Amino acid sequence: MTDVNNTQTVSQFPCDNCLRSGRCLGSVVVKAGADHQRASEVTVVQLQRGQPLFRTGDAANAVYVVQSGALKARRTSYEGDEEILAFRLPGDAIGLDALGQRMQNTEAVALCSTRVCRVPLEALHRELRSSPEVSEMLFDDVGREFERLHEHLQTERRPAQARIAAFLLAQLKRRQRLFGAQIDRFTLPMTRVDLGRYLALATETVSRMFTRLQQDGVISCDGNAVQVLKATALEAMAGAGAEERAPALAKAA
């Protein structure tokens, strides 16, 4: 089955094969519906890299949950270039910002091969009234997203190096939670350009910061494959400002 956007609807049983099953908005809605003998209207959408889940102006008639893969939430700035509001990883909800709006104000684009759960607003509204678990999960997601935006605002007010450090740390922790293990390496699904557009930095600055982090032995990376060597150093950089960055050339004169 193929819809307008040329995306693929995959399965009637959205939670089959999904690792997030039971811990996401989609599955809670599915369960609430099943408890009342209602057929699930939740479907799975498969996207290829670069393919949009929805575009600005599309009718906002569903929210989504990432099953696997990654997406970026984008928006077009006054100057006409892309601004990235968020990267979405498995478990993340998409489209909560369109609650109460008629149209999407943002665009969601897959960064790689990606599976997404589609929860129609109609179903969400209905099951919201039928089961308190739904509203709890929804509130959780909404609260988390607000919290993330607030953190992001703070991050953007800090020097470039701190922004990158904070971003890498967030990614690291996110993966650790996702896999439930103490990993120290991962592959970034986004390009340096995307990263710049997310952190409000020029691509060149992003690149320079990566270079510096490697020189300082804080990370090691090959392309988008990153290994965190000194997590504590990253935390220090993310927390501290520029003041205590390079004690090296301090008194070199």
Sites of contact with DNA (CB under 7 A) = 159-161, 191-193, 200-208, 210-211, 223-224, 242
With CB under 5 to 8 Å by kind, the binding choice for 101 among a second copy, DNA, none is a second copy
For residues 118 and 110, the answer to whether their CB atoms sit within 8 Å is no
With CB under 5 to 8 Å by kind, the binding choice for 191 among DNA, a second copy, none is DNA
Place of tokens 């592959």: 187
With CB under 5 to 8 Å by kind, the binding choice for 141 among a second copy, DNA, none is a second copy
Query: What is the C-alpha separation between 197 and 81, in angstroms, rounded?
Result: 9
Question: Measured from the CB of residue 186, what is the shortest distance to DNA in angstroms?
Answer: 15
- Kindly report each contact of residues 237-245 with a partner whose C-beta sits within 8 Å and lies 24 or more positions away, as own/partner: 237/161, 237/162, 237/165, 238/162, 238/165, 238/166, 238/169, 239/162, 240/162, 241/158, 241/159, 241/162, 242/159, 242/161, 242/162, 245/159, 245/161
Question: Residue 190, CB half-sphere, CA atoms under 13 Å: how many?
Answer: 25
Q: Is 239 in the site for a second copy (CB under 8 A)?
A: yes
Q: Is 125 in the site for a second copy (CB under 8 A)?
A: yes
Which candidate, 236, 248, 246, places its Cα nearest to that of 162?
A: 236
Question: Measured from the CB of residue 185, what is the shortest distance to a second copy in angstroms?
Answer: 26
Q: Is 75 in the site for a second copy (CB under 8 A)?
A: yes
Closest CB to a second copy among 68 and 135? 135
Q: Which residues bind a second copy (CB under 8 A)?
A: 75, 77-79, 83, 85, 96-101, 105-106, 125, 128-129, 132, 135-136, 139-147, 149-150, 152-154, 156-158, 200, 239-241
